[in-house]
Structure 1
């Protein structure tokens, strides 16, 4: 088993919850699992406990609350009572307290006035902060698919999360990257407290990865694959300390871990972000 490397989390959004994948992840030094109450049709926690309960103490487990099961659909809520109940159910289903609980996509329910949204966000964050104080989880954070809708809501009334999770990688737009930076600054989060997700925009088989060569962002990309280069660049788009990535293939996970040894050309990243901002500014209002 390799030395544990917290820079990679095995994301279970699209990954099969199979014991063999988890054991291989451990062999590769991946000891962080990222899941959610609503993954696998709201059965992720129970499935993990049933298929690999004895392995769970070897992992750091992060999960998310915010989506709730309804007949034929899922609904989102920031109601503090529902969030607390979801965390308590998480503990029962996993058979242990999770190390980290994210408030899942809070922007999904923040459609009203700014003041109402600030209050709703503050109450939801307070519920997770209280759950942490009660020992139901080790820490709490916010996972946001669209942080542009959160950056204007951060005031002293909103508790400070321990971790922020946002989209990362070459397919993330300029506004989303800037909003992630703004949230990190507002909450005074260093790089190790920011996580990235969806570094390939869903799949490495997406046609875009055949049309672009991300190796231009590495100082010496000759010995790296395009997939490795895209993954490594994701750690600087925006600046994050951990990236959650889903896969069903241990060989793919091994390839990504090897990419961590690559050196990123930060000047190329800065130029790329400048080009993204210029493109946004050139668009009609």
Structure 2
């Protein structure tokens, strides 16, 4: 995991897991993959191992545990036994130990575990810490779509994640951005160990991207598209060292890699965050 330099992580959420995408990523210098046990109908790890097993040693691989196939469909669980077994299974299906295993959206079950949510989260963290100590993965982290419910619990856990993944970008609200900053500080993480995800809020073709011009957040954006500019700005909303982005097209990935050399105007970013906070509090912007 690199430090200050921005890094692109190829996310496989909703991906077809085609081999040409992985070879295209390597050609662009993108050498990090992010997946999850529940991607591709719980077949992501097996598919990667089967169709691109020879390529996987060239990537750092992160995956996630927390969602399981149940009799009524997909279910979420922080049960430490299930989590530990899922990490073991991930290593077996991939044919190698993952570099990072994220606890996937722990807030989903934390809300339902009250008044025992502190104990439940601590046990889940301990399970991943134990899996790391046993060599089933190189490190573990937390991937949270909505980190706010975790804020009151973070000082009750002994084990601490090595990596945090949160939503990033211009469509993320002030509460999520501030919660990400709080978790980053509480867990003593530097920028290289904080990752962003969903930088476009789901799609680059959403109407919002035709209404705003993200190039105002960059110092020299004359050669960049709006999509490229939004992607580059996402590394500062909140401050992250890596951004996970999903695509099935190497050309799209190439466009995003081309945005990394651009410099972000920090004062504009800070002013934007101030406006977001004021709006969330009902204050004049």
Q: TM above 0.5, one fold?
A: yes
Deviations 1:223-248 (A, max 9, x none): 11000000000000000000000001
Q: Secondary structure at the match of 1:25?
A: helix
Match of 1:135 in 2: 135
Aligned residue in 1 for 2:37? 37
Show CA shifts across 1:138-187 (max 9, x none). Answer: 00000000001111111153411100000000000000000000000110
Match of 1:151 in 2: 151
Counterpart residue number, 2:9: 9
1:3-152 map, 5 Å: 7-71=7-71, 73-112=73-112, 116-152=116-152
- Alignment of 1:211 with 2:211, yes or no, is yes
2:249 aligned partner: 249
Shift of 1:253: 0.4
Find the counterpart in structure 1 of residue 237 from structure 2: 237
TM-score (norm 1): 0.95
SS in 1 for 2:49: helix
Contact 1:49 1:94 in 2 (8 A): yes
Task: Provide, for residues 191-219 of structure 1, a one-character-per-residue CA deviation record: whole Å limited to 9, x for no partner.
Answer: 01100000000110111101110000001
CA RMSD of aligned residues (A): 1.3
2:171 paired with 1:171? yes
Shift of 1:92: 1.2
Query: Contact (CA 8 Å) 1:184, 1:194: kept in 2 or not?
Result: yes
Query: Displacement, 1:111?
Result: 1.7
1:163 and 1:145 mapped to 2: Cα distance?
14
8 Å contact kept, 1:6–1:32: no
Asked whether the 8 Å contact 2:6–2:235 carries over to 1, the reply is no
CA contact (8 A) 2:118 2:156 kept: no
**Contact 1:121/1:158 (<8 A) preserved:** no
Aligned to 2:268: 268
Gap runs ≥5 in structure 1? none
Residues 112 and 73 from structure 1, CA distance in 2 versus in 1: closer, same or farther, beyond 3 angstroms?
closer
Task: Identify which of structures 1 and 2 has the higher relative contact order when contacts are C-alpha pairs closer than 8 Å and 6+ apart.
Answer: 2
Q: Does 1:182 align with 2:182?
A: yes
* In structure 2, distance between residues paired with 1:72 and 1:57: 36
- Structure 1, 71-80 or 206-215: larger mean CA deviation: 71-80
Q: What SS does the corresponding residue of 1:222 show, helix, strand or coil?
A: coil
SS in 2 for 1:254: helix
SS of the aligned residue for 2:103 comes to strand
The aligned length equals 279
- Report the TM-score when normalising by structure 2: 0.95
- Output one character per residue of 1:64-106: Cα deviation in whole Å (capped at 9) or x when no partner: 0000002451000000000011111111111111111000000
Name the SS of the counterpart of 2:155 in structure 1. coil
SS in 1 for 2:189: coil
Q: Is residue 229–residue 259 contact of structure 1 (8 Å, CA) maintained in 2?
A: yes
In structure 2, the gaps of 5 or more residues are none
Quote the residue 2:259 is aligned against: 259
